[in-house]
Each structure stands twice: as structure tokens, then as C-alpha cells.
Amino acid sequence: MAYKSILVVGGGISGLTAAVEASEAGSE
């Protein structure tokens, strides 16, 4: 099983939302 690393640039709601959406897309 392969995992992709995602760097979320930015904090607050926008950064958190991006991280959650990326996780739900199948990436960690």
C-alpha cells in the first residue's frame, strides 16, 4: 500500500479543510 505525503501550506480553517479533503481523497 502506497501513501502520498501532502504538505498543506497555510493554517486556520483553510489549511485544515485542505488537509481533511486530501485525507478523504485517499491520501495521508
pLDDT at 13: 77
Give the chain's domain count: 1
- Please identify every stretch of the chain with a pLDDT value under 50, giving residue numbers as ranges: 1
What share of the chain has pLDDT > 70, as a percent? 50
Q: Give dist(CA 8, CA 1) in Å, integer.
A: 22
Dihedral sign for Cα atoms in the order 3, 5, 11, 17: negative
Q: What is the pLDDT of residue 1?
A: 41
- Domain extent, residue 11, equals 1-28
pLDDT of res. 26? 66
